[in-house]
Structures are given as C-alpha cells and as structure tokens.
Structure 1
Amino acid sequence: MPDDGRTTGRQPQPGGGYNFRAGGRRNAVPPELLEARSRRHSEWLLPAAVILAGVLVVVAIGFIVSRSIRNDEPAAVAPVQPPALGEFPATPGNQFPIPLASDSASPSPSPPPSSPSPSASRTTQPSRKERPSESPGSVSIARTGISRNVDLTAEGSRDWVHWGEQSTFSLERKSDGAFQILEGAPTAPRFRHGLSPQRFSWTGGAPVDHSDGTPTGIRTCDKGNGFTISAPATTSTRTLKIYAGARGARGKLTAKLSVGGASATSTFTEQSNNLATTAFVITYKAPKNGKINLSWITDASFDDDCGGVALEAATLR
C-alpha cells in the first residue's frame, strides 16, 4: 500500500467512525433534523386541509340551492295569440233580430211613487214633562211684643217648653207634646235667671205639672255663646214662637230648613244691663218632611261683665 495515506475506500476516523471522501456521498442527516422537518410539514398541512374542506362544503351548498331555485321557477307560458279574423264567419248563425224603435209615440213613463214626507213618516213622540225643580221651602221671622202673662198651654197646641223653673238645666214641657221642640247640646257659660218681666204659666206639664206664672229662664254671656233649638218641618205651614231676651248685647236668630235650604235671620239688641225680652214668630213650610233648626247666639256683647242673650220659652202650633 502507498505510504501517503490514500486509500481506495473509507478510512477510519478518530473515535472509530468513517467518513466519505470528497466527491463521494453527502454526510448523513441527523434524525433530530428529520423529526423537526416532519413536524413543520404537519403544522401547515392540517389547516390547509380544513380550509379546503370548508370551501368544498360551501360550493356544494351553493350548487344545491341554485338547482332548487331553478326547479321552483314556473315554466314559461306561451302567450295566447288572438285568432285571425278569417277564422270567424262574417255573419254569425242563429242570431236573433234586434227590434228597432218605431215612429209611434211611446207611452210616457209613469211617475215614480212619491216618498212620504219626513213629517208624515215621523212617529209623534209624547212630550216628556220636565220634572219641576224642588221648592226650597219657605221661612220667615217676625218679631212681636209680649203680653205680661203668657199661657204656654193655650199657645202651644202641638208642643211647648219652658227653661229654668227648677235649675239651670231644668226643662219643663208639654207632657203629651211628643218632644217635638228640642234643645241642642247646652254650652257654657249658662245661668238660670228670674229677671223676665213676663210670667209664664202652664198646665199638663212635666216634670212640673203646672205653674201659675214664673219669670225664670236661662241666659249666657260673651260673643258667640247661645242656644240651639229644632222642631219638625212638614209640607204644611207651622209656627214656632220663641220667647227670648238680651242683656247688654245684640242677639242674632237664624232659622233654616234641613231640606230645601230656605232660611231667615233676625236680630234683637239691648244696650243696657237690664234684661229686655221679645218674641220671634217663625213661620215655615218645607218641600218635604224635615226639621227647622234655630240658633239664638250673642252676636255682640256690650257688657264686659256678662253681656249676652237669654231664653225663656217656646211654643209650636
């Protein structure tokens, strides 16, 4: 063998390996590089396959839809051509002659029946009577003088009452008067007095059976204080008489129906400290059964000590 170290085959390399000579086969590729290259190929091949499959699905769906649309379109209908004139006979057979108007005068048409006039066809409706408005009733007040002796039994044929015979809150009345005259709730101040210049007498009373004549009554003081009274009201005229007084005050009497709304007022004044008396005659009539309500109130007080109104008796007939 030549001593220049050349050989016709592979020469051993350090470490026991072999190599190829220049101009021979390439060096072998390591396995790690082959695995990396295979992984890169799989990374782009899989997405490409998915995209291609999606494109194919879309194309297939479009093809199916286009076919269904073409199948649903109606077939074109050939336009109907009108027949040629030569296909019909000039004179149609079995034609009836058309009658023509004659020269003779045609009868005049009968006039249409006349329609009935609205006034004749309208049914007469009975006129409705308007309901008359309810009467407010009537109330009037007259003030009169008083005789020295007053017989309550003779005046009060329906009922009568007297205040203060026994005490401040005592009320003597007609025993069979059915409590038609009623006083409202008492108010303070309230005093019994014996200052009336009249004498009130009665028989057939309760709780006091009779009296030969008493000057007693009740009174109050100061503005706004007073008494309230009520009695029945009907469609018949009735008369309620109030025996009242004032001492150093001006009193105001108001009478009003509970139904209908009619009312009236009157006043009585006594400037001095002496008790002055008067009689109010209230004549009233209601549109239907109800009540007459009265208030006898101190409208003004002229006495700082005890100016006010007084009340002695009342009769109803």
Structure 2
Amino acid sequence: MADEDRTRTDSRAGDGPPDAPATHRLRAVTAGQTRSALRRIARSRRRRRWAVEGLAVLVCLVALVSYFGTRSGSEPGDDQARVPGIPAGAARPSGPPGAEGRTGDAGPALPGLRPRQRTPSPEPTPSASSPAVPPPASTAPTLSLSRGEVPAEVDLTAAGTRDWMHWGLHGTSTVRKRSGSGEIVDGGGSGARVGWDGNQEVFSWRDGTSERSVRGTSTGVYTCGARNGFTLEVAGSGELRTVQLYVGTWMARGRLDARLSTGGSTSTLRLEDPYTSQSAQVTVRFLVPKGARLLLSWTVEKAFTRHCGNVGLQAVAVR
C-alpha cells in the first residue's frame, strides 16, 4: 500500500519517468523555470534595444531636417552672403530694372545691380569764387505776326515806350514821339496819300512833336488802287522788339508783308472787307542784330470797287 501511494505521489510530482528519483525531478523543474525567466529577460532586452534604436533614428531625422532647413535659405557660392551689412539669405533682385522696387536706392549697390540703379552722386557745390555763368540769350533772327482788334482808344505814349509815329493829324502830316529812339522810318510807298478823319478808333498821346499832346483823334491816311500802299522800316538793336501797327481797309483786300533785312522767309497777313471798312492791330515781334532792319509793306492786293478801294495807315508804336 505504501509503495502504491509513493508511486502516485511521484507521478504527480514531476514529468520524469516513474522510476526517476525525486531529486532529479526537482532539478528539472528548476531548470525549466530558469529557461522561462531567461526568455523573459531576453525579450525585455530586445524591446529596450528597439526603443533605443528607434530614438536614435528619430534624433537623426530631426537633425537632418534641421540641417536642410538651414541650408535652404542660401545657395552654395552665393556671393551676396559675403557682402557686409547684408542679412544672410537676402535674395538678389531679378527681372528688368525697376521690377525689384527701390532696392538700389539705399546703401552700396548689390552685386548684379545695373549702374542706372545706383544712388546718384550729389551735384558738386558751385565754388563761391566762380559763380555759374548763365547761358547767353539767343541772337538768332526772329520774326512773327499776329492780328487783334484795335482798342477804342489807343494811347501811343504807353504803347510806344521806345518810339511811335502817327499819320494824318493835319492832312498827310506826321507826328513823332518826342525824344524817341528814331527806330521807325517812313519809307514812302506807291500811290498818292490822302488824309482823312473818320476812323472808328481814336488815338491819343502826351509826348509828341510837333503836336505835344492830342486827345482822341480819328485821323489817318490812305492810298487807292491795287499794288499801291505804304512801306515802313524799324531798326533792330540785337534785342527782341515788339511793333504795334494800326491799319485798315475800305472795300479792298490789304496785304501786309514782313521780312528781315538779314534774309529769310517773308511773313504775310491779309485783311479784307469787300463791302465796307475794317481795321486791325497787327503785332510784329522781331529780333535782328544792331544795324539790321524789319521791313514792312502794306499794300492793296485787290480792290472790290472802281471808286478807290484802299488801305489806310493810322499809327505804329515800338517797345
């Protein structure tokens, strides 16, 4: 009975053969437990190794991303990064001049900028000992004509500050400016002159000779027939002069030709009324050297009546 109970006990106690001693079965159990623990330890070590390796990979990835992110701001060989005062990574201007805005307006010009974008140098300050000389005025001969309405009353003293002349106060007589420059010359003309009193405008002066002062005279002279008229000359002085010429027509077309004695083209102006009278103030501006002259010819180009279609002359003033 005792042997049977021991046999059952031994069969429950271990995995060895039934006839194995108890000590041997205990050692087997201990060895199996040791192998299980070792396997657990190995698995734990593998997990730690994987964790360390994963962390190392992550650190490497972060380092690479940081490295490439830093290098993306500037390309290798970019000379601009070596210019003093220019922030690292600043890009050069691109496109045509002006497309980059006002990059070249401040500081030194960056490499690659065109010369026209550089800040201009300040103008040198003129020396006090050598003042700038103004450019000489133009002395080229000049001539122009324009036409306007005659004022109701013409003040020859104010209009002719240098010289003036009036015709017809007494018949065909003339009155000149007292102490005038004498620049106006009556060159005569073709056809008989006739004095008359009936102009629509009147003339006054306060510095005349032989009549010192006259107020509101409507007198003048005229000449009839085609190709008849008046010629006048005004002396030049090398400066721009303005001539005011007061003329009229009656049932005729009058033609005014102006030219310079120095040569050049002739300027022409016409005044026409086939049925009645008409008057005009002609402004002549001219410039010729001293000794040269303005030449004026005022003639009947066409008469619209057989009864003395004519041109008239009242006054001329120079300033």
* Residues 188 and 232, structure 2, Cα contact 8 Å, conserved in 1: no
User: Which of residues 264, 267, 280 in structure 1 aligns to 2:267?
Assistant: 264
Q: Where does residue 148 of structure 2 map in the other structure?
A: 144
Structure 2 residue aligned with 1:281? 283
Residue 269 of structure 2 aligns with an amino acid whose one-letter code is S
Given that residues 245 and 276 in structure 1 are in contact (C-alpha distance below 8 angstroms), is that contact kept between their aligned partners in structure 2? yes
Cα gap change, 1:266 to 1:186, in 2 (>3 Å): closer
The answer to whether the Cα contact below 8 Å between 2:258 and 2:297 also exists between their aligned partners in 1 is: yes
Secondary structure, aligned partner of 1:219? strand
What is the aligned partner in structure 1 of residue 185 from structure 2?
A: 182
Which residue identity lines up with residue 146 of structure 2 in the other structure? A
Which of 163, 168, 171 is the matching residue for 1:167? 171
The answer (yes or no) to whether the contact 1:163–1:311 under 8 Å persists in 2 is yes
Q: Secondary structure at the match of 1:271?
A: strand
Which one of 206, 217, 225 corresponds to residue 214 of structure 1?
A: 217
SS in 1 for 2:244: strand
Residue 227 (1) aligns with residue 227 (2): no
Of the three residues 190, 197, 209, the one matched with 1:194 is 197
Letter in 2 for 1:307: G
What displacement does 1:138 show? 1.6
Secondary structure at the aligned position of 2:272 is classed as strand
Letter in 1 for 2:293: K
Unaligned runs of at least 5 residues, structure 1: 1-133
Cα distance in structure 1, aligned partners of 2:178 and 2:189: 22
Aligned residue in 2 for 1:68: none
- Find 1:156's aligned residue among 156, 160, 166: 160
Q: How does 1:60-75 map to 2 (within 5 A)?
A: none
Aligned-residue sequence identity (percent) comes to 34
Match of 1:57 in 2: none
Normalising to structure 2: TM-score of the pair?
A: 0.55
Deviation at 1:300, TM superposition (A): 0.6
Shift of the alpha carbon at 1:162?
A: 0.4
Q: Which amino acid aligns with 1:258?
A: S
What is the TM-score with the length of structure 1 in the denominator? 0.55
Cα deviation code 1:36-84 (max 9, x no counterpart)? xxxxxxxxxxxxxxxxxxxxxxxxxxxxxxxxxxxxxxxxxxxxxxxxx
Distance 1:232 1:152 in 2: 19
In the TM superposition, residue 147 of structure 1 has moved relative to its aligned partner by 1.1
Show CA shifts across 1:149-191 (max 9, x none): 10000010000010000112x0001011132111112532211
Corresponding residue of 2:302 = 300
For residue 219 of structure 1, report the CA deviation from its aligned partner: 0.4
User: 1:315 maps to what in 2?
Assistant: 317
Instruction: Tell me the distance in 2 between the aligned counterparts of 1:164 and 1:287.
Output: 32
Give the Å deviation of 1:264: 1.1
The letter for the 2-side match of 1:286 is: V
- Does the 8 A contact of 2:220 with 2:314 survive in 1? yes
CA distance in 1: counterparts of 2:240 and 2:177, whole angstroms: 21
Find the aligned partners of 1:192 and 1:180 in 2 and give their Cα distance: 24
CA distance in 2 between counterparts of 1:309 and 1:241 reads 17
SS in 2 for 1:276: strand
Q: Is the 8 A contact 2:140 2:287 kept in 1?
A: no
Q: Deviations over 1:244-266 (max 9, x none)?
A: 00001001101111114353111
Q: Which entry has the higher C-alpha Rg, 1 or 2?
A: 1
Q: Which runs of 4+ in 1 moved over 4 A?
A: none
What is the letter of the counterpart of residue 253 of structure 2? Answer: R
Tell me how far apart the structure 1 counterparts of residues 238 and 283 of structure 2 sit (CA, whole Å).
18
CA distance in 1, matches of 2:235, 2:313: 20
CA contact (8 A) 1:136 1:260 kept: no
- In structure 2, the residue corresponding to 1:154 is in which secondary structure? helix
C-alpha displacement at 1:316, in angstroms? 0.1
> 1:81-118 CA deviation, whole Å, 9 max, x = no partner?
xxxxxxxxxxxxxxxxxxxxxxxxxxxxxxxxxxxxxx
Given that 2:171 and 2:196 are in contact with CA atoms closer than 8 Å, whether structure 1 keeps it comes out as: no
Q: In the alignment, does 2:248 pair up with 1:248?
A: no
Alpha-carbon shift at residue 135 of structure 1 (Å)? 7.7
Count of aligned pairs = 182
Looking at structure 2, the residues matched to 256 and 143 of structure 1 have their Cα atoms a distance apart, in angstroms, of 16
Distance in 2 of aligned mates of 1:159 and 1:178:
6
Aligned-CA RMSD value: 1.7
Q: Which amino acid in structure 1 is aligned with residue 148 of structure 2?
A: T
Residues 222/260 of structure 1: CA separation in 2 closer, same or farther (3 Å cut): closer
